[in-house]
């Protein structure tokens, strides 16, 4: 079992928690050492996995999932700890590792209770990594819950503003989604053996047998899609996002917007669409309408916000809406674009929230009306913020552009009026995005200095620079050399697209 590389993605965060447990509460150096070693190990592991995965693929290993392993966990219900990854999961693991790494440096000076903060942070990472390596629906769901619960404490204790309210709201809404999801997963489980064989939670087996009865698929599709969609900030279940992000501490916002919201999109295609393809073909239109609304609605809402975090939270509603929207186009190109958008959005939102945290830590306000001309005072942070902004509005050379273009080209392949109309609406968001990004950049960074007290503020420290450089390099890397990622994702989508095609 320990010979499987994937298991280590869960073991390392658990070891980190153990290590943190041994630290003293005030032993900041030891705590940081554990976190840096642990997150570096995760990043190294993710890179190694990525390289090894690509070389295996290049060597002609075209199995759907690699590094598979399965260990019985609870036999009466046939629950396994089953792991395995395809190209998409590898990239998601990579994304998570990068963000955990950058998040560690972004919360270098967290207080109070740094030890407890990082303990919950590591638990959250365990859940995220566990989710992406699982191919057993039950363990997947368990890791999903593991990732959600620490959020309550992380926001409630270390947050700012109306943190208790927001933490409660976020947790309850996501739990509400989980309730739907549990129903959906149980339904799939009970229909996983049409011929009367043994019931299974294993995604690959269910998909291989195309097991779920078409008459049941519709209901289960709605349950699972809504369940995951809540986490993907789908309209009208998105309102946890602005409040939650606004009150969360920096690293939590980074991890939440950067990775946790991706769990929603990932679940949508891995379970809802892959296992219930007939329903996906028939019922996609409902969710195309909802996610289409998300895309435009989030962008318009972001235009009039005054709190930096609210702006980015609504921008995330728009961008994550684009992820689900693209998945529902049900063709290989658009779905590839959706995954690229997940990666791109994850990195750039993490960068945004990291920068907002750094700016807030200095000016003690997030209200753009009370700031101005920060470029003169902290040029490094200003330039980083502009780069994040350009990535968000889709500047070529940064990751947002390739993702959005892939989505639009793929979505345009659906030639009927309904799809086209919604795609045109979605493309409009690139203009609205430019409006709200430039509005913030103009107000916050450019122009004359608004508040003379800000003149004494310092620019970024080394750990902050380290955190931002990691993210910017990743964003530019995807933006300049997108093809290997695109190919990896496309190849991983083949079985899923085939399932959709067969169900037509």
Partner 1 sequence: MGITLPILILALPLFMFLLLGIGGVKMSRKTAGVLGILGMGTTMTLAYIVAFTYFFSGDAAFISAEGVRQQLQVFDVTWLAFTPKLVVKLGFLLDPIAAMMLVVITTISFMVHLYSWGYMEHEGGFQRYYAFLNLFSFSMLGLVVATNIFQMYIFWELVGVSSFLLIGFFYRLPSAVSASKKAFIVTRFADLGFLLGILTLSYFTETFNFIDMTSNPMNVLAETGGATFLGCSVLTWAMVLIFTGGMGKSAMLPLHIWLPDAMEGPTPVSALIHAATMVVAGVYLVARMFPVYCVVDAAMNFITVVGAITAFYAAVVACTQIDIKRVLAFSTISQIAFMMVSLGVARTYAMPDVHYSGLGYMASMFHLFTHAMFKALLFLGAGALIHAVHSNDYTKMGGLRKYMPVTHWTFLIGCLAIAGIPPFSGFFSKDEMLAAMFGNSWLWGAWMTMVAGLTAFYMFRLYYLIFWWEENPEYKHHRPHDAPWQMSLPLILLAAVSVVAGFIPFGGLVTWDGKPYHIHLEVPVAITSIIVALAAIGLATVMYRKKNPLPTKFRNAMPGLWRAAHHRFYWDEIYLFITHKIIFGIICNAIAWFDRHVIDATMDAFAKVTQKVSFSIRGFQSGNVQSYVLWYFFGALALAAITWICLL
CB nearer partner 1, residue 210 or residue 239? 239
Give me the least distance between CB of 442 and partner 1, in Å please. 5
Q: What is the CA radius of gyration of the chain?
A: 22
CB nearer partner 1, residue 70 or residue 239? 239
Give me the least distance between CB of 99 and partner 1, in Å please. 24
Residues 325 and 299: their CA atoms lie apart, in Å, by: 15
DSSP 8-state assignment for residue 258 = I
Give me the least distance between CB of 155 and partner 1, in Å please. 16
CB nearer partner 1, residue 249 or residue 382? 382
Determine how many CB atoms are found less than 10 A away from the CB of residue 27: 15
Contact (CB, 8 A) for 46 and 94: yes
Cβ-based neighbours of 61, under 8 Å, separated by 6 or more? none
Beta-bridge mates of residue 83: 69, 134
Beta-bridge mates of residue 74: 79
Give me the least distance between CB of 394 and partner 1, in Å please. 8
CB nearer partner 1, residue 194 or residue 397? 397
Task: Return the structure tokens found at 485.
Answer: 């990622």
CB nearer partner 1, residue 116 or residue 491? 491
Burial (CB count <10 Å: 0-12, 13-18, 19+), residue 412: middle
CB nearer partner 1, residue 196 or residue 448? 448
Contact (CB, 8 A) for 238 and 174: no
Give me the least distance between CB of 45 and partner 1, in Å please. 28
* Interface residue list for partner 1 (CB under 8 A): 169, 172-173, 236, 239-240, 297, 300-301, 303-305, 332-333, 373, 375-376, 390, 393-397, 401-402, 405-406, 408-410, 412-413, 415, 424, 427-428, 430-431, 434-435, 438-439, 442, 445-448, 482-483, 486-487, 490
DSSP 8-state assignment for residue 7 = G
Whose structure tokens read 């620079």? Answer: 465
Give me the least distance between CB of 137 and partner 1, in Å please. 27
Give me the least distance between CB of 203 and partner 1, in Å please. 27
CB nearer partner 1, residue 214 or residue 379? 379
Give me the least distance between CB of 32 and partner 1, in Å please. 28
Whose structure tokens read 């945004």? Answer: 352
Determine how many CB atoms are found less than 10 A away from the CB of residue 297: 19
Give me the least distance between CB of 453 and partner 1, in Å please. 18
Beta-bridge mates of residue 72: 80
Cis peptide before 43 (omega within 30 of 0): no
Nearest-10 crossing angle of helices 87-106, 462-480: 160
CB nearer partner 1, residue 139 or residue 294? 294
HSE, CB side, 13 Å, CA atoms: give it for residue 157.
Answer: 16
Contact (CB, 8 A) for 60 and 148: no
Give me the least distance between CB of 86 and partner 1, in Å please. 19
Residues 68 and 383: their CA atoms lie apart, in Å, by: 43
Give me the least distance between CB of 70 and partner 1, in Å please. 34
Contact (CB, 8 A) for 316 and 349: yes
CB nearer partner 1, residue 2 or residue 417? 417
Residues 503 and 132: their CA atoms lie apart, in Å, by: 26
Give me the least distance between CB of 52 and partner 1, in Å please. 24
CB nearer partner 1, residue 199 or residue 439? 439
CB nearer partner 1, residue 14 or residue 428? 428
Contact (CB, 8 A) for 91 and 54: no
Residues 442 and 66: their CA atoms lie apart, in Å, by: 48
CB nearer partner 1, residue 217 or residue 332? 332
For the chain, counts of helices (H) and of strands (E): 21, 2
Residues 226 and 461: their CA atoms lie apart, in Å, by: 42
């Amino acid at each position: 079992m320990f010979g499987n590389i994937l298991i280590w993605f869960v073991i390392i965060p658990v070891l980190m928690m153990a290590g943190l447990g041994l630290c003293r509460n005030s032993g900041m150096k030891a705590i940081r050492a554990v976190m840096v070693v642990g997150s570096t190990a995760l990043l190294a592991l993710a890179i190694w996995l990525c390289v090894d995965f690509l070389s295996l693929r290049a060597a002609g290993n075209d199995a759907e999932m690699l590094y598979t392993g399965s260990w019985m966990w609870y036999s009466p219900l046939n629950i396994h700890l089953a792991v395995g990854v395809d190209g998409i999961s590898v990239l998601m693991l990579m994304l998570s590792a990068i963000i955990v790494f950058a998040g560690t440096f972004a919360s270098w000076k967290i207080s109070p209770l740094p030890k407890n903060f990082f303990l919950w942070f590591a638990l959250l990472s365990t859940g995220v990594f566990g989710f992406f390596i699982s191919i057993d629906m039950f363990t997947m769901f368990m890791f999903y819950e593991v990732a959600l619960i620490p959020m309550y404490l992380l926001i409630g204790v270390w947050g700012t503003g109306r943190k208790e309210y927001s933490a409660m709201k976020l947790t309850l809404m996501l739990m509400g989604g989980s309730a739907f999801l549990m129903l959906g997963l149980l339904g799939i489980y009970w229909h996983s053996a049409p011929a009367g064989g043994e019931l299974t939670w294993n995604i690959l087996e269910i998909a291989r047998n195309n097991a779920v009865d078409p008459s049941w698929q519709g209901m289960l599709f709605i349950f699972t899609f809504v369940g995951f969609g809540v986490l993907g900030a789908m309209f009208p279940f998105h309102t946890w996002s602005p409040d939650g992000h606004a009150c969360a501490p920096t690293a939590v916002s980074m991890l939440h917007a950067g990775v946790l919201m991706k769990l929603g999109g990932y679940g949508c295609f891995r379970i809802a669409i892959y296992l219930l393809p007939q329903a996906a073909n028939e019922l996609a239109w409902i969710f195309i309408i909802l996610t289409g609304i998300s895309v435009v609605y989030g962008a318009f809402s972001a235009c009039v916000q005054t709190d930096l975090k609210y702006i980015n939270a609504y921008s995330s509603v728009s961008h994550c809406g684009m992820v689900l929207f693209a998945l529902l186009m049900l063709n290989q190109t658009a779905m590839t674009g959706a995954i690229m958008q997940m990666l791109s959005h994850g990195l750039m939102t993490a960068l945004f929230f990291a920068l907002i945290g750094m700016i807030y830590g200095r000016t003690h306000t997030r209200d753009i009306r009370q700031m101005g001309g920060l470029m003169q005072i902290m040029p490094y942070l200003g330039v980083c913020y502009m780069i994040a902004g350009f990535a968000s509005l889709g500047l070529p050379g940064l990751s947002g552009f390739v993702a959005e273009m892939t989505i639009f080209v793929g979505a345009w392949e659906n030639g009927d009026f309904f799809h086209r109309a919604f795609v045109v609406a979605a493309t409009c968001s690139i203009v609205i995005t430019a409006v709200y990004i430039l509005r913030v950049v103009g107000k916050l960074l450019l122009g004359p200095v608004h508040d003379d007290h800000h003149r004494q503020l310092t620019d970024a420290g080394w750990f902050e620079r380290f955190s931002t450089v990691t993210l910017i390099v990743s964003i530019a890397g995807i933006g300049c050399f997108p093809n290997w990622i695109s190919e990896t994702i496309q190849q991983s989508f083949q079985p899923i697209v085939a399932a959709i095609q067969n169900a037509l």
